[in-house]
Amino acid sequence: IYDRKTDFRLYCLVTDFTSSGTVLLYREGLVRSCKLPYDLSEEGIAVAQRHLTNNCINKVTGKDDKYGGGRNNWCLYDFEKWLGTQDKPYSFQSIWEGFCALAVATVRSAAPTITAECERLGVCGVAEPQENVGLRCFEVFAMDVLVDGSGKPWLLEVNTNPGLHGSHPSGVVQPRKQDVFSCLLADVWSIVLSSLEGQPWPEAHLSRFHAMPLYPA
């Protein structure tokens, strides 16, 4: 985007790792870009702000920044609008479908290990049948993803304890992050608490996720 390296941070809620489990990919996320243009020259390769999108590395830039108000974070909605103005061989919908497939494959690959550890600790998911009493758990995963020139997503890493505060390490508030995180937390807690109470997931909150079965029916 604007000649800057960009990645996507996606948020995935999992309340049950059993065969009937559901992967809930949040429909909003962060689009994080480097402060400086991408540069593979001998001089440019040594500059972290050209190659790493982490917010702790890319401090707030000037007010004339194309990302709006000097911020290097967009939300997915901003990216979708921008992509609609570009001549690319892919669409936002095709990228989103790739994100969804990647989320399911990633959670599924880790599910056996997580399930075995839960059994060892006597813990079960909050959405499992209510007769499974005892400690209950859920997880919000943060997936960092790159999209290549053909629109295909590639997983960089998965964070199990993502930061969900809307400010830069310098203390500057970042509105895009605040907007995403405040809604995400409200929606996550609504679904988790409904699960604990044995109630259906509230549609108003569930609609902001893309729900997919962890395993094929």
Between 185 and 163, whose confidence is greater? 185
Please, which residues bridge with residue 9 across strands?
A: 30, 144
Distance from chain centroid for Cα 85:
24
Which residue type is seen at 124? C
Dihedral angle sign, alpha carbons of residues 62, 68, 74, 79 = negative
Q: Cβ(140)–Cβ(103) under 8 Å?
A: no
**pLDDT score, position 157:** 95
Which residue type is seen at 141? F
**pLDDT score, position 16:** 87
Closest CA to 13 of 195, 216, 198, 204: 195
Helix (H) or strand (E) holding 187: helix 175-196
Overall residue count recorded for the chain in this entry: 217
pTM of the prediction?
0.86
Count of Cβ atoms closer than 10 Å to residue 5 Cβ: 18
Dihedral angle sign, alpha carbons of residues 97, 98, 104, 107 = negative
Question: What's the helix, strand, coil split of the chain in %, to 5?
Answer: 30, 25, 45
Structure token digits, residue 122: 């006597």
Average pLDDT of the segment spanning 119-124: 82
Alpha helices in 6-127 (DSSP H): 76-83, 92-121
**pLDDT score, position 64:** 42
Please, which residues bridge with residue 140 across strands?
A: 13
Q: Cβ(1)–Cβ(82) under 8 Å?
A: yes
| Cα distance between residue 151 and residue 189, in whole Å | 32
Segment 146-170, tens digit of pLDDT: 999 999 999 999 998 888 875 554 4
pLDDT mean across residues, the chain? 85
Average pLDDT of the segment spanning 79-106: 95
- Would you say residue 14 has pLDDT above 60? yes
Banded pLDDT at 121 (limits 50, 70, 90) = confident
Average pLDDT of the segment spanning 27-45: 91
Banded pLDDT at 217 (limits 50, 70, 90) = confident
Segment 42-77, tens digit of pLDDT: 899 988 889 988 877 776 544 444 544 345 788 999
Which residue type is seen at 15? T
**pLDDT score, position 140:** 94
Between 110 and 174, whose confidence is greater? 110
Q: Cβ(67)–Cβ(38) under 8 Å?
A: no
Number of helices (H), then strands (E), in the chain: 4, 9
Banded pLDDT at 134 (limits 50, 70, 90) = low
